[in-house]
Amino acid sequence: MKNLINTLKNIWRIEDLRVRIINTLLFVLIYRLGSYIILPGVNSDALSAASKGANEGIVGLINIFAGGAFSRASVFGLGIMPYISASIVIQLLGMALPYFRKLQMSGESGRKKINQMTRSLTILITTLQAPGYIATQITNKAGVVNDPGTFWYIQSVLILVTGTMFVMWLGEKITDKGIGNGISLIIMVGIIARLPFAFVSEFGSRLSGEGGGLIMLLIELVLLLAVVMGSIMLVQGTRKVPVQFAKKIVGNKQYGGVRQYIPLKVNAAGVMPIIFAQAIMFIPLTIAGFSQSDALTGFVGTFTNHYGFWYNVVFALLIIVFTYFYTAITVNPNQMAEDMKRNGGFVPGIKPGKKTAEFIDTIMSRITLPGSIFLAIVAVLPAFAVKLNISQEFAQFYGGTSLLILVGVVLDTLQQIESHLLMRHYDGLMKTGRIRGRSSMSMTTA
């Protein structure tokens, strides 16, 4: 406890770090206040009554990321998700088209162009999504909008587009003037904002009737702690590949000749396989909604129960497949081998160039399998939690995208705080070793 108090004092003593933390809290407060500002002309009480039990599947996932703003028809209703979609599209284009790949390798000038393209694509995606959001979440519910005329539609679309761009601006400001990655922090805040309500609901259900009392609640918290620890292992797990650098003598000084390591991540794909798999699993629900065939609806209906056996089996298999796919397009062994060769580095016992690329590719294939299986297990854990009579709201924090994002963002933020402490010659947040987040350095000295 004393060490924790001393660490907090050290954090407060560093003026730059103190200002950054205060800025982050203020920006987050602005975001949370904006998420409760409802679109003009929308009856929030009627919308809340009409939306009970309707926010499930991909809609529920978006609502979690938006911190409830999606279901409230807030001015931040679409949140940061259009920007995330635009970023993914630009990233995939960088892997498929030489022009975007060249921009990614052009340093600061290329990064500025990519950021501008991402912002423009965000506006386009939000403009396309806003009318669909208004039609499916607002105007199709009786009594929610008093006068849904043409002017109201245009006004609402403009407000939603502006809201998304403002949230994106807040995220960039958090990154520049705050602590941590702004976009990731905004997503995390939206997720964690629902945790107190879910916990209070679960607490009440356990104390009422045959809920099991405080003992069952304590068991749930212990299980949640175990899942969080497992998720931390998944996020931080790496396979270190030793790299030896040749000695160089320049004047009277010797350079190189040291051994470093390339940390190949067990889960290099992050949460993207879960997001892709959830998008695919939403297709049966869409088919069932348009189909008039009872037989087809019954067959497809089997895959619309998010807590059913077959849904989770197919979901887990898709996650494993997408983990291999996304790892293959994001990790380039040939580029890594070429960079090592250019800098005079080599893996001991392996020839530089093609042999090194094949060696790295083999290791990635081996560690991706257990990583993908573990990721699939974490993704389907909420279904197991529901089977143990845990409420659906609280079960969402037992795994899936929500938990992985929370763990990853918290680790990244703590890593940045620790870097500020170590630069000023203070002790880090941990006495036993450095905190490593998702954005850790590509090489670490042995």
Is the pLDDT at 446 greater than 50, yes or no?
Answer: no
Per-residue confidence (pLDDT) for residue 234, from 0 to 100: 85
pLDDT tens digit string along 130-164?
Answer: 888 888 777 777 777 777 788 888 998 999 999 99
Question: For residue 444, what pLDDT is reported?
Answer: 31
d(CA 271, CA 81): 14
Could you give the C-alpha distances from 61 to 6, 64, 191, 314, 434, in angstroms and in order?
39, 5, 10, 18, 33
Rounded to the nearest 5 degrees, what angle is found at the Cα of 323, between the Cα atoms of 321 and 324? 70
pLDDT at 166: 93
Q: Select the more confidently predicted residue: 123 or 136.
A: 123
329: pLDDT strictly greater than 80: no
Is the pLDDT confidence value at 57 over 60? no
- Written as one letter, the residue type at 129 is Q
CB atoms within 10 A of CB 424: 12
So what's the pLDDT on residue 123?
92
**In angstroms, rounded to a whole number, what is the distance separating the alpha carbons of residues 420 and 202?**
38
Residue 324 one-letter amino acid:
Y
Q: What is the pLDDT of residues 337-354, one digit of tens each?
A: 888 888 778 888 888 888
pLDDT at residue 445 is higher than 50 = no
Distances (CA, A) of 58 to 70, 123, 284, 304, 359: 12, 21, 12, 11, 39
Which residues on neighbouring strands pair with residue 38, listed in sequence order?
Answer: 74
Residue type, 281: M
Higher pLDDT, 435 or 404: 404
pLDDT at residue 194 tops 60: yes
Residue 353, phi-psi category: left (phi > 0), alpha (psi -120 to 50), beta (remainder): left
How sure is the predictor about 440, in pLDDT bands with cuts at 50, 70 and 90? Answer: very low
The reply to whether domains 1-186 and 194-446 share a CATH topology is yes
| Tens-place pLDDT, residues 157-193 | 999 999 999 999 998 899 888 888 888 888 888 888 8
pTM across the whole model = 0.76
Tell me, what's the pLDDT at 304?
65
- Residue 442 reports pLDDT greater than 50: no
Query: Could you give the CA distance from residue 152 to residue 162 in angstroms, rounded to a whole number?
Result: 15
pLDDT at 276: 75
How much is the pLDDT for 443? 33
Give mean pLDDT, residues 268-291.
69
pLDDT tens digits along 220-248? 889 889 888 888 888 888 888 888 877 66
- Closest by CA to 296, choosing from 278, 279, 304, is 304
pLDDT beyond 50 at 128 = yes
Angle of CA points 85, 285, 227, to nearest 5°: 65
The CATH T-level fold of domain 194-446 is: Preprotein translocase SecY subunit (1.10.3370)
- Give phi and psi for 263, each to the nearest 5: -85, 100
pLDDT greater at residue 249 or residue 219: 219
Per-chain mean pLDDT for the chain? 79
- pLDDT tens for 24-40 read 999 999 999 988 888 88
Comparing 298 with 262, which gets the higher pLDDT?
262
Structure confidence at residue 162 (pLDDT):
93
In the predicted structure, residue 433 carries a pLDDT above the cut 80: no
Q: CB within 8 A of 139, min separation 6: which ones?
A: 145, 148
Domain positions in the chain are 1-186, 194-446
- Over the stretch 312-322, which tens digit does the pLDDT of each residue have? 888 889 889 88
CA within 13 Å, CB half, 187: 23
What is the rounded distance in angstroms from the CA atom of residue 260 to the CA atom of residue 241? Answer: 8
Note the Cα 315 to chain centre separation in Å: 18
Which amino acid appears at position 5 of this protein?
A: I
Q: What is the CATH number of domain 1-186?
A: 1.10.3370.10
